């Protein structure tokens, strides 16, 4: 039932509303009178809607959205964002609906509010499903308007600031979610101030004792090093002045959670953390940044390996700065950050910095290249995730920025997470580059797909038209884009393979009734498709290819009854071309390879399973009344197949290495090997599974192995 709409009368504000008066003064610094009047209207309507509602702290509910809006005004965000922040809970917690918001404030503001609102009116089967659904909706809203996430972050900050009134379990849940999702999102958007503020608030709520102890340590250290930092600051200022450089020098302090992360990650004690305090220098231009760096290195001894140039190679969130660590007075390691004033604004406020520069109509994500790419990746993950738990884990894994910088052949710098592989790089450049991957070179040397990348390498990817992603890549790729692109492609390949192979199977089955696919009457086809609940013939092919429908039974249903008596006595088997993909599998009990006589049976959901004709499992298949299909190998197979060989050898040192070397020299890969001995003879038995292209290659390999002086017998293991 729709909520009853009511017209809200706009009256003058209560002059005693001190909170709004102070908020209004902040707005007057950068907004005009018309825009402030619109915000006042939003405040009045939100106040009326939340009237009588109290937060658990006992304060009026309107204080929460007003605090969130006030926080955003510190970033000088536009008036529509401020209005939406004030109204962000009205849909969720009051009788106001989207229609009222659209009528009173227009489409943009109502869409912003809707993007922030939770999906609490929908029943979900689990908490994970609800969390995933809320995150999905927010990311989708972000892709339309980036201001949605800014409102959500401000909302989360005020919730954390007032979290002490909640029960311990609820506090821990909110704090954990903040550290895993919201603080990393703020960091990825470059809003450093928001990120560290949320991290410290969440850390204090999640581990109050650890926070208190670390805070006390920092306070003690601050007292001990205060004079030393003053001395360094004065020396640097004097040297910069002597060189005629106009720069601001600021002594800075690491936040509590940042220190805790470093202690935990590197397993250090607080006394072993030397860069708690540092110096930040802001200049007017990039050239001055590098001049300042030279002065610092001339004045103090730089620590090797501690210099990073984020100006030449910015971080994924757009952050730019020079970082260097030096040995200061008394051997105290001190970090220096050197950047321009514009870089400093971007470092502190990230994407919100665009409003500082008064760039109009820049709310669409398409105006921010890095943010656009990141959100697009999140949308791809959303589309290809199998379940809510997988989606949440994928988003969390994607939120942390990379640390490996490599070069494309065009000289572009590509940033990837640590331990990224060649395949991760290919998918980072373009999905098609990954899907069509054939080979790769690093610094002009051929490498394997699972090669882990290192800083400064030049990566070249080569493709082929007819290749497909290898399911084995999922065992080593680490980026979510690569993982989900591979999965999505494999799903598509499975559908295509199933459709093509199903068509081939049905065509073969219809031959027994002297019928061709093109000759099936439209009326007959329509009846059959309805019976099998298929919308078109491709769906029916796919069902057959996946093993969900038996081709002979479908053929019998299509064929006229009178023709069943006149079917031919025999027909050739279905050809296997080696391109059927994952809907056709080869039995591991007998390992059929080209040259063997083969048959197949339909396994529901798995398609066709191929066996050798003399495989012992034929009896089990027949006992289950599963349909057996005559199969034969195509002429131009372009694939490798596994075969199993049993090798009996003398019990001598180094024999396994000898046999493995002989197999490798025959251009065969060893997929697996098992090793044992026989009590009767004392000989060793080795069973290899090797990859080959044809039975002739297997015969040559076995003949080669028999010539080894330590080999007693070689035979193919068929079942």
- Residues forming the active site: 92-93
d(CA 89, CA 93): 6
Q: Say if CB 50 and CB 60 are below 8 A apart.
A: yes
Give Cα 443 distance to the centre of its chain.
Answer: 27
Is residue 101 within 8 Å of residue 130, measured between CB atoms? no
Q: Report whether 398 contacts 390 (CB < 8 A).
A: no
CA–CA separation, 645 vs 257, rounded Å?
Answer: 58
CA-CA distance, 418 to 413, in Å (whole number)? 15
**Residues contacting 150, CB < 8 A, separation 6+:** 72, 75, 77, 81, 191, 351, 352
Q: How many CA atoms lie within 13 A of 338 on its CB side?
A: 27
Question: Can you give 443-504 as a three-state secondary structure string?
Answer: CCEEECCCCECCCCCEEEEEECCCCCCCHHHHHCCCCHHHHHHHHHHHHHHHHHHHHHHHHH
Q: What distances in angstroms separate CA 635 from CA 348, 369, 507, 584, one per listed residue?
A: 65, 50, 19, 18
Q: Rounded to 10 degrees, what is the CA torsion of 13, 15, 18, 19?
A: 10
- Residue 669, helix vs strand vs coil: strand
Helix intervals (H) in 532-595:
537-545, 551-558
Helical packing angle, 208-242 and 192-206, nearest 10°: 150
Nearest to 253 by CA among 278, 287, 223: 278
Rounded (5°) CA angle 217-300-265: 40
Query: Of 105, 116, 177, which Cα lies nearest the Cα of 145?
Result: 116
């Amino acid at each position: 039932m729709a909520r009853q709409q009511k017209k809200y009368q706009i009256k003058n504000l209560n002059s005693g509303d001190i909170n709004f008066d102070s908020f209004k003064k902040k707005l007057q610094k950068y907004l005009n009178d018309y825009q402030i009047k619109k915000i006042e209207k939003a405040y009045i309507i939100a106040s009326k809607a939340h009237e009588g509602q109290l937060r658990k702290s006992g304060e009026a509910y309107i204080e929460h959205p007003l605090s969130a809006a006030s926080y955003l005004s510190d970033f000088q965000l536009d008036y529509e964002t401020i209005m939406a922040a004030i109204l962000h809970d009205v849909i969720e917690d009051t009788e106001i609906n989207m229609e009222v918001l659209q009528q009173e404030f227009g489409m943009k503001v109502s869409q912003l509010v809707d993007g922030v609102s939770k999906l609490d009116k929908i029943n979900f089967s689990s908490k994970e499903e609800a969390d995933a659904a809320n995150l999905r909706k927010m990311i989708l809203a972000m892709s339309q308007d980036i201001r949605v996430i800014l409102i959500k972050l401000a909302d989360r900050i005020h919730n954390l600031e007032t979290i002490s009134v909640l029960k311990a379990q609820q506090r821990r849940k909110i704090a954990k979610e903040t550290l895993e999702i919201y603080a990393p999102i703020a960091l990825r958007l470059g809003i450093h101030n928001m990120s560290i503020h949320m991290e410290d608030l969440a850390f204090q709520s999640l581990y109050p004792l650890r926070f208190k102890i670390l805070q006390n340590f920092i306070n003690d250290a601050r007292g001990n090093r205060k004079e030393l930092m003053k001395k360094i600051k004065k020396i640097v200022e004097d040297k910069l002045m002597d060189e005629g450089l106009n720069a601001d020098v600021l002594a800075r302090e690491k936040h509590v959670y940042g220190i805790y992360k470093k202690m935990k990650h590197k397993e250090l004690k607080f006394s072993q953390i030397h860069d708690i305090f540092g110096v930040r220098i802001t200049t007017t231009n990039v050239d001055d940044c590098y001049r300042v760096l030279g002065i610092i290195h001339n004045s103090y001894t730089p620590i090797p390996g501690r210099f990073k140039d984020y100006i030449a190679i910015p971080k994924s969130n757009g952050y730019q700065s020079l970082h260097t660590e030096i040995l200061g007075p008394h051997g105290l390691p001190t970090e220096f950050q050197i950047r321009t004033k514009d870089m400093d604004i971007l470092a502190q406020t990230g994407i919100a910095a665009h409003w500082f520069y008064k760039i109009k109509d820049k709310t669409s994500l398409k105006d921010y290249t890095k943010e656009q790419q990141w959100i697009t990746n999140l949308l791809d993950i959303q589309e290809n995730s199998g379940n809510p738990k997988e989606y949440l884990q994928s988003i969390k894994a994607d939120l942390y920025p990379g640390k490996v910088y490599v070069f494309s052949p065009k000289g572009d710098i590509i940033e990837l997470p640590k331990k990224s592989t060649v395949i991760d790089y290919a998918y980072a450049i373009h999905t098609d580059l990954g899907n069509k991957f054939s080979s790769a070179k690093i610094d002009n040397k051929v490498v394997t797909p699972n090669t882990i990348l290192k800083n400064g390498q030049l990566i070249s990817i080569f493709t082929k038209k007819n290749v497909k992603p290898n399911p084995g890549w999922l065992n080593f790729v680490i980026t979510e884009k690569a993982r989900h692109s591979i999965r999505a492609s494999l799903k598509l390949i499975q559908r295509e393979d199933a459709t093509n192979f199903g068509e081939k199977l049905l065509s073969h089955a219809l031959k027994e009734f002297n019928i061709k696919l093109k000759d099936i009457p439209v009326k007959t086809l329509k009846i059959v498709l309805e019976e099998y609940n298929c919308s078109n013939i491709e769906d029916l092919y796919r069902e057959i290819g996946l093993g969900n429908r038996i081709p002979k039974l479908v053929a019998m249903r299509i064929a006229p009854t009178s023709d069943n008596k006149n079917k031919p006595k025999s027909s050739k088997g279905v050809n296997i071309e080696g391109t059927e993909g994952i809907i056709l599998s080869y039995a591991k009990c007998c390992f059929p390879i080209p040259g063997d006589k083969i048959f197949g049976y339909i396994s529901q959901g798995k398609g066709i399973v191929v066996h050798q004709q003399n495989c012992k499992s034929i009896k089990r298949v027949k006992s289950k009344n599963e349909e057996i299909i005559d199969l034969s190998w195509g002429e131009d197979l372009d694939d490798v197949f596994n075969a199993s060989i049993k090798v009996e050898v003398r019990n001598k040192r180094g024999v396994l290495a000898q046999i493995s070397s002989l197999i490798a020299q025959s251009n065969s890969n060893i997929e697996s090997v098992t090793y044992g001995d026989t009590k009767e003879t004392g000989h060793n038995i080795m069973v290899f599974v090797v990859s080959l292209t044809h039975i002739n290659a297997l015969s040559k390999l076995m003949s080669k192995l028999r010539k080894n002086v330590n080999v007693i017998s070689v035979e193919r293991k068929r079942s």
